[in-house]
Structure 1
Amino acid sequence: MARSHPGHLPGRLGLAALLLASAAAHADIDVRVSGLDGELLTNVNQRLGIRADAKREDLDVALVEALHRQAFEDIRVALQPYGYYNPVIDGRLQGEAPEWRARYRVDPGPRTVIDSVELRIDGEGSAELQPQREAILQRLRAGEPLRHTRYDDAKKALSSAAYARGYLDARFTRAQMRVLADENLARILLHFDTGRRYRFGAVSIEQEVLDADVVERYVTIEPGAVYDPQKLLDTQFALSDLGYFASLEILPQRESAEDGVVPIVIRTTPRARTLYNFGVGYGTDTGARIGAGAEVRRFNRRGHTGKLETRLSEVKNTARGEYRIPVGSVIGETLALAAELTTERLEDGESQKWGTELSLSRTPGDWQRKLYIGFTHEESELGSTRQRADLLTPGVALTRNELDDPIYTRRGWSLFVDVHGAVRDVLSPTSFVSSRAIVRGVLPLGERARLLGRAEYGANLVEAFGELPASQRFFAGGDQSVRGYAYQSIGPRDEQGAVIGGKFVNTYSIEVETRIWNDWGAALFYDLGGADDDPAPKLLQGIGAGLRYRAPVGSVQVDLAHPLDDRDGGSGSGVRLHLGVRVGL
């Protein structure tokens, strides 16, 4: 039994008089617990009512004494989940209004151990749940210290495992943890009945905007299959990600089940057919910019979609339209036809191009694959050289992501690889093969910081480089390259010193970012990279620091970057401001 010692208390009348005399002062109770540490101390402090109410404005002598008396029971209850049922508590309330001192010294006493465990599983699914039974018995063993959380976790694990296998009626027929406090022993009795196994019935989809077969091919629920809650979630995510529906509910009709077969009803609300957008902003690489566009979420009942957008800026102007036809049964698998018109001001020249592209996007396994063939007409001026070229370029692009959060990633990586080319006299002025790979990664550094890295390598194998249009050449510098240097300002130069681009590009970046206060943070970074006609380009370096703000759309970044290497023309000198938003990696 616990022994309680309230200690010496001033007389009620004396305390009341002092309280009245100090009515203007703010009452307070200084509460301290000794004899415990770690999770025991933490749980006691969280449970103590006298600590939670220590700064109440209505504290008086009667309330403080009542809180002190209750503290002994609070401590006992707080220790029980860890197996301590016989603590010795010495408590004293001292001081006077408006400041009291409550002191509690606690000896948790002997710890209760598990004396016996009886775990029995009956029903149709008893054999399937044997692995879970064995795992539970490894955590609840005779002689082990009693922890209530392990008992609760065992019950949850068994119920969840049964439900995940289609045993919707599974229940505990007996669930008892009997504590023999005087003997410091606990006996656990768990009897579990799985009941019958359920299966999926007919699937009914309530929607009127698409042909039934368009939606059905994304449904992973198969009538007659074992009832699997994960299949319900997979279907809900898949149909939601299609972009056709504003809301979506999957409702198992368990009350209508016959012979263990559960009908499924999917209710949907369509999204507006067209979404219009308009925006203004500023980017370091593009300068002031303005954009407008429209997204057609469905052209017809076959689920065809499209997008039209225009972006105007000081450096680059783009108009693009795309028409997409969904194929297959995986989100994002499409056949698309796109057209684009672009004008761009380069470091030492300009480029104008228009083109069209036919592509097929698929997702084999964990990879996203895009096969495409594009035709581009481009007119460019780099330094003193003017070019006019047509290109027919088939290619393939591969992407893979492993991210813990698609918006603000703390652990993960991504890889992008693109290979395309052209053949002389097949609507192209020269033969070439161009490839580029970009890998990004992030790791957490404690709870508040993360380490980000990026590496890029690109190579052109070209028959006649002088015939290669500007859009197919490699440059470095700018927001997504080597900060501290102007956009596309790094690369080989002609005799007049104008940057004309190279056959190879190689860039790296490493950044440490930490959260300082709420959603605000700071970063330090180091970049290096170069573009050249040599497979191992000379790497120019840049360093900098930045401010970060974690917004719902991603990480808003304001960076100041300084180049460490001087170049001819001095375009890499000074400090450059970079503004942008990072989404994911």
Structure 2
Amino acid sequence: MFAASVPVALAATTLSYELRGVEQSALKKNIGLYLANISFNGAIPDEATQERIIKTVNTAVQPFGYYNAEVTLQIEKEDVIIQVALGEPLIVANITREIIGEGRDDPAFREKFNALAIKKGDVLHQPTYEQFKSAMFNYALSHGYFDFYWQATRLDLVREENEANVLLIAQSGRQYKFGEVRLVGDNRAKAIIGRLQPFKQGDAYSATKLTTFNRRLNETGYFQRAIARPLVSQAEGANVPIEITLTHLPRDIFNVGGGGSSDTGPRIRGRWERPWVNSRGHSITGEVYLSKPEQAASLDYRIPLEDVNNDYASIKTSYEFEDNTTSDTKSEKLSISAHRFWKEQDSPWQRSVSLTYDREMFTQGISEPQTVNLLMPGYSIGYSESDNVLSINQGKYFVIAMQGAHENAGSDISLLKVTAKAKYIATFNNTHRIFLRAEAGAIETEEFDRVPSSLRFFTGGDQSIRGFSYQEIAPSVLDDDGERVLTGGKYLATGSAEYAYPVTDNWRAAVFADIGTATNDFSDPLATGYGIGAHWLTLIGPVRFYIARGHNEFENSWRFHFTLGPEL
């Protein structure tokens, strides 16, 4: 007869304890992290586990200067009480530090080295000491001190005296410089790259400048991917060559997109782009836009100037046709324009100057068909900043633009048009979302009847005053049948406020109020719109739905609006 013993696996118990004698939250957290891995079999820890707990707590408080702590355990039934008497912490008595190498004569390097957050007389805090060593090493590498190492680092602990001595000796080595820039593969971008570099050969190496260079390369719109990296192993003396690997975009890029809103109905946009016309970085873009009330086609030739990403000239020709029964507009316009755009590096502000020739054949309301030629210089300044391209939680947008024409300078009539538009989005506590919008404009002329329809002001619709049809609000006259037809206005002023609150991960509920007018006389009553809405948050941006009540002297109506597209 045989007997076999079968081992029984006991479930491990996670340590549950009460900590006494420690008030500092950082200390409590560190002790908790150290004790998290302790488990034992049975209802209470055995003697070996108790010794391990005491040792672990002592280890956890030492980085904060408490090397003379006394830890005791009390077991009450199945409760573990850890009593800690921290005692006096170690105080930093002396700090000895020295730089050897070229960093000694570099003011910025010395400033960083002397920025140790531990001072004589402070309580020893080892995490700060270790973080400084790591930060100093990273700083050295990012500023070209590739040979940096710590020649000596030491903490001398004198427990009997409650003192600690800090020793830091850094060997910086030499500071490397930017060397030649080497282009791998297709070299058609050579001229462009030289204008994107934030450094010159011989400048002190900086990882920040190299990161800026990479960002600028990838912002140009010429490359699928661009990487600039230092070849430290191939340094010639103190000069580090920079290698650039580029993957170019296709010769021709085609995109077709769609969208829709209750203003224009469904719309289709087609785009063709040739990123490289020549080695100087010239590019050309063609676009076609189709919706029920509007159709347009354009060709835009862009010439990069000194700053490839932020400074360029553009020559554009376009054809636009509009047949909008709501605004009583029928217009056909041919336009040729020259623009110059520029902004400062990393600035949200952009400026432009332009010269535009428009030939517009139009019929507005009951007026006779007209053809007007305008040669208009223009200027605009804009500001745009947001935390996301598609789903914006924080964002600001502002633009003011003006155009003028004079009958003695290539135009059939004299006029001055000024417009301003502003949008603001803010989200508080990741919950409460505010969207404010305002727009204003004015036309100064002695021959308003000859101002083309595309320059006059109309408002109403998804992007202005909800509760009304697209461009339904404007001054009007009566036709032969006594029907009201629109003429367009000299002035524009609209404002909107919207509040949204998330109800699920992908939906927000909203309430809003809009007010404004397009008019020839601001003493006329304003139009208002108010209502409720919902935002559906999708991968291609928010789709916004609204039920709005519109009111002015001619109409009281309910309308449904929906919009898909950017909010700024």
TM tier, shorter chain?
A: 0.7 to 0.9
Matches of 1:450 and 1:105 in 2, distance apart? Answer: 47
Tell me the equivalent position of 1:150: 128
1:504 touches 1:531 (CA, 8 Å); kept in 2? yes
Tell me the equivalent position of 2:5: none
The Cα shift of 1:334 comes to 2.4
The Cα shift of 1:247 comes to 1.9
Is 1:348 the counterpart of 2:332? The answer is no
The Cα shift of 1:359 comes to 2.4
Tell me the equivalent position of 1:531: 518
Tell me the equivalent position of 1:255: 233
Q: Superposition pairs for residues 425-574 of structure 1, below 5 Å?
A: 426-495=409-478, 496-515=483-502, 517-518=504-505, 520-534=507-521, 539-551=526-538, 553=540, 555-563=541-549, 566-570=551-555, 573-574=557-558
Q: Residue 397 of structure 1: SS of its match in structure 2? A: strand
Tell me the equivalent position of 1:112: 89
Q: Residue 573 of structure 1: SS of its match in structure 2? A: strand
1:174 touches 1:190 (CA, 8 Å); kept in 2? yes
Q: TM-score, normalised by structure 1?
A: 0.81
* Aligned alpha-carbon RMSD (Å): 3.7
Q: Superposition pairs for residues 290-301 of structure 1, below 5 Å?
A: 290-301=268-279
2:333 touches 2:361 (CA, 8 Å); kept in 1? no
Matches of 1:349 and 1:575 in 2, distance apart? Answer: 20
Q: Residue 231 of structure 1: SS of its match in structure 2? A: helix
Closer, same or farther: CA 312–360 of 1 in aligned 2, 3 Å: closer
Matches of 2:125 and 2:99 in 1, distance apart? Answer: 22
Question: What is the letter of the counterpart of residue 468 of structure 1?
Answer: V
Q: Per-residue CA shift, 1:405-439, capped at 9, x if unaligned?
A: 55555445332121112223655442111111223
The Cα shift of 1:550 comes to 5.0
The equivalent position to 1:373 in structure 2, one of 355, 369, 392, is: 355
1:459 touches 1:535 (CA, 8 Å); kept in 2? no
The Cα shift of 1:140 comes to 1.0
Q: Per-residue CA shift, 1:244-286, capped at 9, x if unaligned?
A: 2222221212112232111222121212112212233322322
2:70 touches 2:85 (CA, 8 Å); kept in 1? yes
Matches of 1:155 and 1:502 in 2, distance apart? Answer: 68
Matches of 2:85 and 2:325 in 1, distance apart? Answer: 74
Is 1:171 the counterpart of 2:155? The answer is no
Tell me the equivalent position of 2:339: 360
Give unpaired runs (5+ residues) of structure 2.
Answer: 1-7
Tell me the equivalent position of 1:56: none
Q: Residue 263 of structure 1: SS of its match in structure 2? A: strand
Closer, same or farther: CA 348–363 of 1 in aligned 2, 3 Å: closer
2:317 touches 2:337 (CA, 8 Å); kept in 1? no
The Cα shift of 1:93 comes to 9.3
Q: Superposition pairs for residues 180-191 of structure 1, below 5 Å?
A: 185-191=163-169
Question: What is the letter of the counterpart of residue 331 of structure 2?
Answer: Q
1:527 touches 1:541 (CA, 8 Å); kept in 2? yes
Please, which moves more after superposition, 407-416 or 347-356?
Answer: 407-416
Question: What is the letter of the counterpart of residue 516 of structure 2?
Answer: G
Closer, same or farther: CA 543–249 of 1 in aligned 2, 3 Å: same
The equivalent position to 1:49 in structure 2, one of 22, 33, 36, is: 36
Closer, same or farther: CA 561–394 of 1 in aligned 2, 3 Å: farther
The equivalent position to 1:578 in structure 2, one of 562, 565, 568, is: 562
Please, which moves more after superposition, 393-402 or 153-162?
Answer: 153-162
Q: Residue 574 of structure 1: SS of its match in structure 2? A: strand
Please, which moves more after superposition, 479-488 or 249-258?
Answer: 479-488
1:286 touches 1:313 (CA, 8 Å); kept in 2? yes
2:259 touches 2:564 (CA, 8 Å); kept in 1? no
1:531 touches 1:538 (CA, 8 Å); kept in 2? no
Is 1:336 the counterpart of 2:314? The answer is yes
Question: What is the letter of the counterpart of residue 562 of structure 1?
Answer: A
Closer, same or farther: CA 173–523 of 1 in aligned 2, 3 Å: farther
1:49 touches 1:67 (CA, 8 Å); kept in 2? no
2:98 touches 2:168 (CA, 8 Å); kept in 1? yes
Closer, same or farther: CA 412–192 of 1 in aligned 2, 3 Å: farther
Q: Superposition pairs for residues 247-326 of structure 1, below 5 Å?
A: 247-326=225-304
Question: What is the letter of the counterpart of residue 350 of structure 1?
Answer: T
The Cα shift of 1:217 comes to 2.2
Tell me the equivalent position of 2:396: 413
Q: Per-residue CA shift, 1:387-410, capped at 9, x if unaligned?
A: 423322221222233445555554
Q: Per-residue CA shift, 1:428-454, capped at 9, x if unaligned?
A: 442111111223334442244444433
Matches of 1:356 and 1:285 in 2, distance apart? Answer: 25
Closer, same or farther: CA 383–70 of 1 in aligned 2, 3 Å: farther
Please, which moves more after superposition, 220-229 or 326-335?
Answer: 326-335
1:113 touches 1:142 (CA, 8 Å); kept in 2? no
Question: What is the letter of the counterpart of residue 530 of structure 1?
Answer: T
Give unpaired runs (5+ residues) of structure 1.
Answer: 1-15, 21-26, 54-58, 96-101
